[in-house]
Amino acid sequence: MVERARVAVVTGASSGIGKAIAKAMAQQGWRVIGTGRDPERLAVAEAEIAAEAAGAPVTMLRADLSLLGGAAQLAQDIAALTDRVDLLFNNAGGMTDKLVMTDEGLEANFAGNHLGPFLLTQRLLPLLRKAAQDQPAGAVRILNTASDASEMIPSINLDDMQNLERFSPGMAYCTGKLANVLFARALADRLAGEGIVAHAVHPGAVDSNFFSHAPADTQARSRGLDKASEADGADTLVWLATAPEGAASNGGYWYRRAPRTPNKLVEDAAIVDRFWQESEKLIAAHGR
């Protein structure tokens, strides 16, 4: 019987940490399905990864995860390529310097950092569950790229997670990154016993184009940070994808290959549950 290549889906794979993740997984022999918004960067990344991974199967798909329609279509496109997903890296995200509303009527920062990945993950659950059927418990994993920005806010307004009433770019970004950690914990709760685990990872400050659309003061502060390479930023995510430590726990928050204490809100089961419910309401209210 021919062993099938394991499948890793990496969002935001056309540059930065995502491209480093995709490259590392391809070099380990995984079939990689990457996503991004810019067709030219996707084509360059696909060729680069394939060349450095000895011809490992790599497919890049165009998708804008700030649009729920884009997330739903991406799930369909992935399902047309494979009947299983062993690893899902929810890595795509970003930061805006002002309030931007998508064509679907959602705040772009929160939509791209959380709601799109939330919907994509839900739509890919059948493929993740299919992979879990023939793998040891915990081998199938969902990994969210978060940030220590998730630790910087003392509360979250679950009635206005988009921060529309009192919007600021910094608060919006921190809320979106907290959502990544809350989402991992909520997934762990809901998928318990199914052989699928979920974790969030703070990659550290990385020398990439991530801050290019951030507010001017954030860009100025970022220039003073000691930044890691893209490969170093991806290291914990790549390690956690297959390390035994990833299967030994669930719903964790990691930094530099070690557990990190999350925002205290993540430890509140009532907040985690309500966060999930409000995320579903937002998606349903916008036709998904």
**60-80: per-residue pLDDT in tens?**
999 999 999 999 999 999 999
**Residue 151 has what DSSP assignment?**
G
Residues 6+ apart with CB under 8 A from 263: 150, 151, 153, 178, 181
Q: Is 253 a catalytic residue?
A: no
**12-29: per-residue pLDDT in tens?**
999 999 999 999 999 999
**154-203: per-residue pLDDT in tens?**
999 999 999 999 999 999 999 999 999 999 999 999 999 999 999 999 99
Catalytic residue among 30, 110, 118, 173: 173
Residues 6+ apart with CB under 8 A from 22: 8, 10, 13, 32, 34, 45, 49, 58
pTM of the model: 0.93
Separation in Å, CA 20 to CA 11, 75, 122: 12, 22, 25
Predicted confidence band of residue 205 (pLDDT cuts 50, 70, 90): confident
CA angle 169, 115, 151 (to 5 degrees): 50
Sign of CA dihedral 15, 198, 74, 278: negative
Q: Does domain 7-285 have CATH number 3.40.50.720?
A: yes
28, burial (CB in 10 Å: exposed 0-12, middle 13-18, buried 19+): middle
Predicted local distance difference test score (pLDDT) of residue 233: 94
Strands 252-255 and 258-259, sheet pairing: antiparallel
Predicted local distance difference test score (pLDDT) of residue 2: 40
Spans of all domains in the chain: 7-285
